[in-house]
Structure 1
Amino acid sequence: MSFLQFNDKRIYYELKCIDSSRVLIFIHGSGSTSNVWKYQFDLEVNCDLIALDLPSHGKSSKFSKLSLDLYVDVLGALITQLNYKEVILCGHSLGGAIIQSFYFKNPDLVDKLILVGSGARLRVSPVILESLITDYEDFLNSLPFGAFSRKTPKETVNAYIKETSKVGSEVTYQDFWICDKFDVMDKTSNIKVPILIIVGKDDKLTPVKYANYYKEKVSNSEIFIIEKAGHMVMIEQPERFNEIIKKSTEV
């Protein structure tokens, strides 16, 4: 187990180390943990792999208040401590908001961005926010329809719901609230590093049009739309997802 000391707290991260000077860091989305990237640790690429648990998620310490700034600062502390020469950031949904925010704050520290089911703005339906406050069970029951393709096996869906339920309603609500306030549409054209956008064709939360926006605004961008996948594309179609990541990180 690896931990980052952050003030008086500890941040857990999973590490697959090949002693490379390059690193690919995975950031999970709302109500998730580093475990959502478990299939990506099968990747055979020429860089180290890291997936962290955001504050109050998974094995990381509990924090009294969560914010986008906190998440960005934690990512910055990890990057500073590990001191890699080349940093590739991969963020899913909320994780995409985090890595974009980190890039705009520290453009010289990032060599490539990979957005997975994310966008330049991440508005959240009031129905989702309300259900997280009033009926968490109803929120969990909605995930098979909202977060996954109908073609995804029930075993995959149920395993994710079991994992995300451990995070709890309060933390998940704060995550979605952060997403709802996120908007960098006025900055997108300032992205100067290569950016890869991966989206499931059946994604209802961050539809394909969110990905196409980057194609219009960022010259050095590439989009992959994965069939038979929804918002949780990296666990719904891990082989295809990993194939794309592998090709995009080759040097």
Structure 2
Amino acid sequence: MTAEVKKEGKFSYIEQGEGTPMLVLHGLMGGLSNFEEVVSFFSKKYKVVVPELPLYTMPLLTTSVKTLAKYIQKFIKYKKFEKVVLLGNSLGGHVGLLYTKLFPQNVLGLILTGSSGLYESAMSEGYPRRGDYDFIKKKCEEVFYDPAVATKEIVDDVFASISDRAKLIKTLALAKSAIRHNMAKDLPKMTTPTCLIWGKNDIVTPPKVAEEFQELLPNAELHWIDQCGHAPMMEHPQKFNEILNTWLEEKGIS
């Protein structure tokens, strides 16, 4: 990502544009660069902010989805944002969901793409496995419909994290927290306008997950992207941005 990463106290984040804050939350194996096209497109109309989630710096006993949601609240207070648009992929979507449940008055709209919170399959097959580069490469490629999207840089970053024992322990703790923190009972009470943008070929959070989100959330719209896996904003950024931009305009969220 070409944007400068700002470091202020305990917060590291990217910020571009002016206007209503659009807070973008990355996933467990993701990073700030996953949203390069989102930042470029929406920073023309919004203040797009991508905080780096403290995945590996939380105390192990409090490493959880809930701790991350509270971290986002601290960040929003630090930035003095009153109301935000929340966009989350994978674990970031789950954090966005929980934040919206806890602080609905702060959220103008919620966008979920490949979100956990109901189900995800990343823990199958013993994932993640240390020291096996080919296995990690295969798992990274499975995230996308087109395995070529899993560049060597992406695989190397994930492999480095998995090879670090302390980071691996935190990764497993967060993955288990996401599985435990099922939000099915909470969703029917959440009336925040929600846009679901899902890859039809997502095998981490399969299409049936998106359909269940749509069924349980009272104010949700579901949009599909064909030939697309778990990270639509990376695999089909133009289509993703078009869908989201139209939804935001229709909802009058600006």
Same fold (TM over 0.5): yes
How far 1:175 sits from its partner (Å)? 3.1
Aligned position for 2:186: 187
Deviation at 1:26, TM superposition (A): 0.7
The match for 1:36 is: 34
Distance in 2 of aligned mates of 1:158 and 1:232: 17
**Structure-2 separation of matches of 1:92 and 1:244:** 15
Label 1:53 to 1:187 Cα distance change in 2 as closer, same or farther (>3 A): same
Equivalence for 1:105: 102
1:63 alignment partner in structure 2: 58
Match of 2:80 among 80, 83, 86: 83
In structure 2, list runs of 5 or more residues that go unmatched. Answer: none
Say how many residue pairs are matched: 238
Question: 2:152, 2:193 → 1: CA distance?
Answer: 35
State the one-letter code of the partner of 2:156: K
CA offsets per residue over residues 106-159 of structure 1, 9 Å max, x none? 11111111111014313445434x34255553541222442110xx26255434
Helix, strand or coil at the partner of 2:128: helix
Contact 1:113 1:195 in 2 (8 A): yes
Unaligned runs of 5+ in 1: none
CA distance in 2, matches of 1:49, 1:204: 29
Partner of 1:174: 173
Query: How far is 1:213 from its partner?
Result: 1.2
| Structure 1 counterpart of 2:67, one-letter code | L
SS in 1 for 2:68: helix
Q: Tell me how large the CA RMSD over aligned residues is.
A: 2.2
- How far 1:87 moved relative to its partner? 0.6
Counterpart residue number, 2:244: 245
Secondary structure of the corresponding residue to residue 14 of structure 1: strand
Quick one: distance in 2 between partners of 1:97 and 1:56? 14
Alignment of 1:154-165 (within 5 A): 154=148, 156-165=150-159
Partner SS, residue 111 of structure 1: strand
Q: Which amino acid aligns with 1:75?
A: I
Conserved? CA contact 1:68–1:98, under 8 Å: yes
Which residues in structure 2 correspond to 1:1-251 (within 5 Å)?
1-5=5-9, 10-18=10-18, 20=19, 22-44=20-42, 45-56=44-55, 62-65=57-60, 66-124=63-121, 126-128=123-125, 130-149=126-145, 152=146, 154=148, 156-169=150-163, 170=168, 171-250=170-249, 251=252
Check conservation: 1:120, 1:210, Cα contact below 8 A.
no
Deviations 1:179-219 (A, max 9, x none): 22220101110111100001111100111111111222223
CA contact (8 A) 1:13 1:53 kept: yes
Query: Which letter maps to 1:116?
Result: T
Q: Please tell me whether the aligned partners of residues 114 and 198 of structure 1 are also in contact (alpha carbons under 8 angstroms).
A: yes
Shift in CA distance, 241/125, structure 1 to aligned 2, threshold 3 Å: closer
Q: 1:113 to 1:4 in 2, by over 3 A?
A: farther
Of 90-99 and 130-139, deviating more is: 130-139
Residue 85 of structure 1 and its aligned partner are, at CA, apart by 3.5
Contact 1:97 1:182 in 2 (8 A): no
Contact 1:32 1:167 in 2 (8 A): no
TM-score, normalising length: structure 1: 0.85
1:165 Cα deviation (Å)? 3.1
Secondary structure of 1:193's aligned partner: coil
Secondary structure of 1:32's counterpart equals coil
Match of 1:132, SS?
Answer: coil
Q: For the residues of structure 2 that align with 1:243 and 1:34, how far apart are their CA atoms?
A: 21
For the 8 Å contact 1:200–1:230, the answer to whether it is kept is yes
Residues 55 and 171 of structure 2 are in contact (CA less than 8 Å); yes or no, is this contact kept in structure 1? no
TM-score by length of 2: 0.84
